Amino acid sequence: AGWSVCFRRNFITSPSRLQSCMSAWVIDQYGTNGVLKFAEEITVPTVNSPSEVMIKVHAASLNPLDISMRGGYGAKFLKLRRDPMSVMDNNNDSEFPLILGRDVSGVVVDCGSEVTHFVPGDEVWAAVPPWKQGSLAEFVTLTEYEVSQKPKLLSHTEAASIPYVANTALSALVNAGGLCRDSSSNKRVLITGGSGGVGTFSIQLLKAWGAHVTVTCSQNAEGLIRGLGADEVVDYTAEDAHEQLGMMEKFDVILDSVGGETEHWAMGLLKPWSGAKYVTLVTPLLFNTDSMGLLGGMFQTGYTLHSKATQNIVSSGVFYRWGFYAPDGPALDEVSKLMDAGKILPVVEAQFPFTQVPQAFQKLEQGHARGKTVVRVA
Ligand code: NDP
């Protein structure tokens, strides 16, 4: 079902009566930054199932996915996740008005009858799945399992910089990379693209877990990356960057957040025949379903993954895997503890007020992120 626009204003009259309309940045079509529109009459996403939690958004942050989704990336796949019946109708635009924004830090305002871990007034954080309405809005509603208590020592602005990259890094490193808190000490991990959102979080998580961390980044990010605890830093723009990496002791896990040609030169940096894993976050799944349709795209994606995985295990005994964001509130609970213990720090590069969401998109689109871009909503 599409998201209806609210034509009636009905503001809060008592704590139990929530307003029915809210402000949000929406898109009604895919395109460049001009499609972002500020709307004041969007229906508030109220609690509709017993396990849902409604959150008043205090801060949101942007991810490269927001730029891609604004342009229509993943539209076919995500539309199917939102509304399985839409697969019958190629022309419907039921996803509009679509709200982008994947991270939220805010306060619980309402809970379904079966919610056990949260009550109104709790300060929480979460990563909003891309198939749900996003956090560039006054309110967002999620299932309890996707939400977590916000770290106490962080402001909402700081907290909003973490959930999406944390859920992505944990899913990639744990599920695909086979690492965890108790198995990482003395493991050698290479992170490519270390200066962005995923990289700055992953470096700190892996150091907290006791791993040895090598990072590739631009020369001018080296100070930031070393400050986050990286053991070795290689400037990927240096002519001899691959030679420098090749001379190092081989790695147990590579987390690749750059993609492209990386897998061609990086696979040989892994320890052969010892369970080493190459995990890339840059996968063709959504590109394929956009360009070939759902069935063709999924078939092609499965075939590509199977052939790359087989080729690498047969030729060099290393596992080739894809990493994906996965919503996971309990995983954020663990991150929360590390942040309150000061073991992981937020890296907020830029902040924008809610009135300047298009400027925040512009900033992200320029690339060269050094941590995260956050939007203060409340
Ligand atoms: P960011 O935009 O925050 O960071 C990217 C970083 O990579 C920048 O700091 C950039 O800085 C650096 N960089 C660019 N080129 C290279 C290179 N060749 N070698 C080393 N560093 C480089 O992105 P995120 O960290 O949020 O995400 C990283 C990637 O992971 C994106 O492609 C994103 O789409 C993907 N992703 C995938 C997910 C999934 O579910 N599969 C989930 C989340 C993210 P500079 O250019 O100055 O060097």
Q: Tell how far the Cα of 352 is from the centroid of ligand 1, in angstroms.
A: 21
What percent of the chain is predicted at pLDDT more than 90?
A: 89
Q: Over 70: is that where the pLDDT of 1 sits?
A: no
Q: Tell how far the Cα of 298 is from the centroid of ligand 1, in angstroms.
A: 24
Does 324 sit in the ligand 1 pocket, CB within 6 Å?
yes
Q: Over 90: is that where the pLDDT of 303 sits?
A: yes
Q: What Cα–Cα distance (Å) separates residue 280 from each residue in 47, 275, 319, 353, 359?
A: 36, 16, 11, 33, 29
What is the pLDDT, as a whole number, of residue 13?
35
Residue identifier of the C-alpha nearest atom 36 of ligand 1: 281
Does 325 sit in the ligand 1 pocket, CB within 6 Å?
yes
What is the pLDDT, as a whole number, of residue 238?
98
Whether cis (ω within 30° of 0) applies to the bond prior to 97 is: yes
Q: Tell how far the Cα of 353 is from the centroid of ligand 1, in angstroms.
A: 24
Does 86 sit in the ligand 1 pocket, CB within 6 Å?
no
- The least confident of 54-68, 206-220, 293-307 is 293-307
Q: Tell how far the Cα of 282 is from the centroid of ligand 1, in angstroms.
A: 9
CA 156, 158, 159 angle in degrees (round to 5)? 60
- Residue 281 alpha carbon, nearest atom of ligand 1: 41
> For all residues of the chain together, what is the average pLDDT?
94
Q: Tell how far the Cα of 368 is from the centroid of ligand 1, in angstroms.
A: 9
- The least confident of 87-91, 223-227, 257-261 is 87-91
Per-residue pLDDT, averaged over 283-293, amounts to 92
Does 217 sit in the ligand 1 pocket, CB within 6 Å?
yes
Q: Over 80: is that where the pLDDT of 15 sits?
A: no
Strands (DSSP E) contained in 177-312 are 188-192, 212-217, 232-235, 253-256, 277-280
What's the one-letter identity of residue 341?
Answer: A
Confidence of residue 314 (pLDDT cuts 50, 70, 90): confident
Entry pTM: 0.95
CA 96, 101, 104 angle in degrees (round to 5)? 130
Q: Over 60: is that where the pLDDT of 120 sits?
A: yes
What is the pLDDT, as a whole number, of residue 50?
98
pLDDT tens figures, 82-106: 988 877 776 678 899 999 999 999 9
Q: What Cα–Cα distance (Å) separates residue 182 from each residue in 148, 178, 210, 227, 310?
A: 22, 11, 9, 24, 29
Q: Tell how far the Cα of 118 is from the centroid of ligand 1, in angstroms.
A: 33
Distance CA 194, CA 198 (A): 7
CA 225, 331, 336 angle in degrees (round to 5)? 60
What is the pLDDT, as a whole number, of residue 320?
97
Residue identifier of the C-alpha nearest atom 22 of ligand 1: 193
Q: Tell how far the Cα of 377 is from the centroid of ligand 1, in angstroms.
A: 25
Q: Tell how far the Cα of 360 is from the centroid of ligand 1, in angstroms.
A: 17
Does 195 sit in the ligand 1 pocket, CB within 6 Å?
yes
Per-residue pLDDT, averaged over 263-274, amounts to 96
Per-residue pLDDT, averaged over 281-310, amounts to 93
Q: Which residue has the higher pLDDT, 186 or 235?
A: 235
What is the pLDDT, as a whole number, of residue 16?
46
Q: Tell how far the Cα of 63 is from the centroid of ligand 1, in angstroms.
A: 10
Q: Over 50: is that where the pLDDT of 177 sits?
A: yes
pLDDT tens figures, 17-53: 567 999 999 999 999 999 999 999 999 999 999 999 9
What is the pLDDT, as a whole number, of residue 272?
96
- Residue 220 alpha carbon, nearest atom of ligand 1: 47
- Residue 64 alpha carbon, nearest atom of ligand 1: 34
Give me 291's structure tokens. 């360009």
What percent of the chain is predicted at pLDDT more than 70?
A: 94
Best residue for ligand 1 mutational test, from 198, 261, 289, 348 (most atoms within 8 Å of Cβ): 198
What is the pLDDT, as a whole number, of residue 147?
98
Q: Over 90: is that where the pLDDT of 305 sits?
A: yes
Residue identifier of the C-alpha nearest atom 27 of ligand 1: 198
